[in-house]
Amino acid sequence: MGVSIHYSGAMDVAQVEALCEELADIAKSLGFKNSVEVDDDDKGLRGIILCPASKMEPIPFLFDSTGRLHALGDLIAGWAEKTAILSVAVKTQFAGEKDHILLIGLLRYIQRKYIPSLEVTDEGGYWESNDREELRRRIEALEKIIKGLGAAVENAFMDRVIDKDNPDELADFIEQVAKGFNDDIT
Cα–Cα dist 21/141, whole Å? 37
Cα–Cα dist 13/124, whole Å? 30
Decide if 52 contacts 31 (C-beta within 8 A).
no
In three-state secondary structure terms, 155 is: helix
Mean pLDDT of 175-181: 74
Decide if 33 contacts 51 (C-beta within 8 A).
yes
> At residue 23, does pLDDT exceed 70?
yes
Mean pLDDT of 103-107: 98
Q: Residue type for 153, please? A: V
Q: Where are the domains of the chain?
A: 4-129, 135-185
More confident residue, 171 or 47: 47
The mean-pLDDT minimum among 5-9, 36-40, 148-152 falls in: 148-152
Decide if 32 contacts 53 (C-beta within 8 A).
yes
Mean pLDDT of 103-117: 98
> At residue 115, does pLDDT exceed 70?
yes
pLDDT of residue 163: 78
**Torsion sign, CA atoms 168, 171, 175, 177:** positive
Mean pLDDT of 47-54: 96
- Position 186 confidence tier, pLDDT thresholds 50, 70, 90: low
pLDDT of residue 63: 98
